[in-house]
Amino acid sequence: MTTYQSRNDVPEQEKWNLTDIYPSLDEWEKDYEQVKVMTEELKAFDGNIDSGKSLLEYLTKQEELSHTFNLVYVYAMLNVDVDTRNSDSQSLLDRAKHAGVKISSATSFFMPFLLSLDEAQLKEYIAEDEGLNYFEEDLFDSFRYKSHVLSKEQEKIVSRLGEALSSPSGTFSMINNADIKFGEVTDKDGKKAEMTRGMYSKLIEDEDREVRKEAYKAYYEPYVALKNTIASTLSSAVKNNVSLAEIRNYPSALEKGLFGDNVPKEVYENLIATTKENIKSMHRYTEIRKEKLGLDELRQYDLSAPLVKGVKLDIPYQEAYETMVKALAPLGNDYVERLKEFKNARYIDVRETRGKRSGAYNLGLYGVHPFVLLNHQDDLDSLFTLAHEMGHAMHSHYSNKHQPKITAGYSIFVAEVASTVNEVLLINYLLNKETHKDIKKHLLNHFIDQFKGTLFTQVMFAEFEMKTHALAEEGQPLNAEVFNQIYENLFREYNGDTVVFDEEVKYGWSRIPHFYRPFYVYKYATGFASAIHLATKILDGDQQTLDSYLDFLKSGSSDYPLDLLKKTGVDLTTPEPIVNALKRFEELVEEFAQL
């Protein structure tokens, strides 16, 4: 594996070229000063929008400010992410964040003002100035919120309570990230050491079962000890969400959570029901896992153990990029050529170095280009991460190129489609060309586990959220015992009877940060199912699906997420895309069993 002592050792070709945003720090400073001036100018519109002309002036200036601020903020953020220890970069980011708070405060008057207008008045303003046609759809979309926005005085009270209402999430974050102390595990020298999260993700995949068991017990130890405290924070978060839904006149907390994306609750309910109707293949996979590991009893700490021993693939970055490009050939010549350009144009920061932010992401910067952060480890996971992030990058590239600023950004609901289509095409390519039986089994196992984590587990989490919110809406108590019971029942239902339960299993709810961002996780599952549906048709040579998928990548947020997907032939208001994805899972499991 290629390792570098310092960032200076990394070839220029594998580092971001941030001069694409600002050629010098002086240019950044100029824009930073400009942001401050424009913020004051926007503030002056409070109480002074009384015609189509003044409304257009405000919206035009607000969009211009938003664009300039994005450049200022992203430049600072990317500089920090390549070396989080650099205090000069940190100071730039702090200044950018401060500017962001000022903008938010200066423009907070606008939404209450807009929703105080009636539609006839807004139409009159739009008729006065044709420049407002550009903003029309956005303005009227805001009107969807009209029945959920309170009077000016009530909004002020709710906004003052904002910090208090979000405190359960903050409290859990402090417990989970700062205060939690895991139990001890035995290190390679036979000494006891306190386990870390990083160690856990490695140890739970260890081939030695005793190592896995010890890591599992040490990981859950603090969560079980803090069960009542964490139950109290989660209960408060759920109840706060239910109260806000009531205050804002939503029929339920679930419908409040889905409102922004204009998704009917039937889509959410259909996802859960369809997954459970097709759960047999998941149970079958659990049985195969027990059999392959040669165990009398399959426990939760066996669910991530590798089923194919001794396979470790070394895939250098250059080879990984070439493999990805070949795998994505079904997406057409233009897609592949753009991908090749990205590598040479330094859109990707490739290597792990001291102080660099961990993980991977894509950031599409309008008017510049996508920036992709990797920490490439020359292994199979890194190859999949590369294909995943380049899916996001191509989505950003096409949307930014084909959409105006106002509709260029795409919603999280559709974001995972582009990344997962790439991963499905990649696994298909690798399986087709691989002749070594153990490697083929390893690839299949890798994809099945990803499928399980992104679809089945997220649907299980989504059902947990739905059940806990429903209890709160009925005024039922929520405590550790109630959470345990719901989580344990769901875990049994989704994983089948093959798993023998340890005491810790039922405490799974206590470690999930996503539960403090309600009704969000289902988007992973719908995105994954949509991508499986599309990639399967593209691989079958369906030209119409390919054309509509490439159009989808160019669409940004020019329509609501469900409608954008419908244009590709994926209708999430029906069970079909979920059924097709689960059928594919069943085929993968059978193929793995036969190998």
Distance CA 577, CA 569 (A): 9
Amino acid at 276: K
Question: Which contiguous run of DSSP H or E holds residue 156?
Answer: helix 152-160
Rg over CA atoms, the chain: 25
Considering 14, 214, 389, 463, which one is annotated as catalytic?
389
User: How far is C-alpha 461 from the geometric centre of its chain's CA atoms?
Assistant: 15
Q: Encode 4-37 in three state secondary structure.
A: CCCHHHCCHHHCCCHHHCCCCHHHHHHHHHHHHH
Instruction: Quote the CA–CA distance of 581 and 591 in Å, as a whole number.
Output: 15
Long-range contacts of the stretch 436-441 (C-beta < 8 A, 24+): 437/595, 438/308, 438/310, 438/311, 439/311, 439/313, 440/595, 441/307, 441/308, 441/311, 441/592, 441/595
Annotate 213-226 with b (16+ C-beta within 10 A) or e (fewer): bbbbbbbbbbbeeb
d(CA 153, CA 249): 17
Structure letter (DSSP) for residue 276? H
CA distance 478 to 470: 11
Backbone dihedral angles phi then psi of residue 21, each to the nearest 5 degrees:
-90, -55
Q: How far, in Å, CA of 402 to CA of 406, rounded?
A: 12
Would residue 137 show up in a list of annotated catalytic residues for this protein? no
Decide if 246 contacts 330 (C-beta within 8 A).
Answer: no
User: Which residues carry out catalysis?
Assistant: 389
